[in-house]
Copies of this chain bind each other. A is one copy, B any other.
Amino acid sequence: MAAGSGETPLCIACIQMEPIFGDTAGNVERIIRLIDEAADKGARLVVLPELCNTGYVFNSRAEAFALAESIPDGPTVAAWSAAAKKRDLYIVAGIAERAGERLFNSAVMIGPDGYIGTFRKVHLWGDENLYFEPGDLGFPVFPTPFGRIGMMICYDQWFPEAYRTCTLRGADIVCIPTNWVPIPGQDPKREAMANIIAMAAAHTNSIYVAAADRIGTERGQPFIGQSLIVSYTGWPVGGPASSDRQEIVLATVNVSDARRKRRWNDHNQVVRDRRPDQYDNDL
């Protein structure tokens, strides 16, 4: 891609790893080593799994509360901010957030100059409903030098409205920290439906999607891995990764294409062709 021609090459890394439940300091240390490894391979945007600093399967709200941290003044965000500054890159990572008496299943975005913003998981899955408040920040989109970044977490992507909100707010890339679990009624031997959803959403919104999943089994709950990076065409350009190994999924993409190639012919531009007058009001 020629410099000065409006192209925006970016190397994205999705780090697929297994947090150790409750070992926040150890997880953060390990995550920083993995960020270093991704940076060594050229990554400028690094996505990490949902709740990657604490683990996922809490047994009580008290346990979740004890492991959660304030944002941005907690130790995890401080450590990730130092890593982002040192390696001159952007990080999107899942974290248990404490805000007064409330807990959120959140993702933070951090850049070379420090903390940028927070997303709070809007659609809570299963027992998360016992520990966390539903997200109350909508779907914020943050500008960076290489494009605009939206976030969602795991079950949020089951709601096409979430992708659309990010897209209509200008997102070029949606980053998804996730802890995908086996879904009722799905054959675990088949491709992950989570990947199919990401592909359809990337294509119908003409955006990049970068989803970093965890692996392993925690307190009896298995996770399915298969992290991936999807192009605006709808096809994976990195991964899907394995279902059970620590991996860094890498892809170098041209962010400009997500915006420019929404125009498919003289008449059609897939995002602008929406017709809200024909959809029901409460969408």
Interface residues of A (CB under 8 A from B): 122-129, 134-136, 138-139, 155, 158-165, 168-169, 183-187, 190, 193, 196-197, 199-201, 203-204, 233-235, 261, 264-268, 270, 273-276, 278-280, 282-283
Contacts and interface: CB of A to CB of B under 8 A. Distances in A.
Given A184-B264, A267-B126, A135 B278 contact: yes
A274 to B, nearest CB: 6
Given A275-B122, A278-B138, A197 B193 contact: no
A241 to B, nearest CB: 19
A204 B276 contact: no
User: What is the interface of chain A mostly: helix, strand, loop, or mixed?
Assistant: loop
6 contacts: A123-B273, A139-B280, A159-B204, A161-B274, A164-B280, A276-B282
Nearest to A203: B193
Contacts of A264: 183-184
Given A126-B268, A235-B190, A161 B158 contact: no
Contacts of A129: 267
Contacts of A184: 261, 264-265
A16 to B, nearest CB: 22
A280 B185 contact: no
Contact of A276 (B158, B169, B268, B283): B283
Contact of A197 (B123, B169, B200, B280): B200
A158 to B, nearest CB: 5
Given A159-B204, A264-B184, A275-B122, A283 B197 contact: no
Contacts of A163: 160
Given A125-B268, A282-B276, A204 B134 contact: no
Nearest to A138: B278
A234 B196 contact: yes
A160 B200 CA distance: 10
A78 to B, nearest CB: 29
B197 A160 contact: no
Given A134-B275, A196-B234, A233-B185, A283 B164 contact: yes
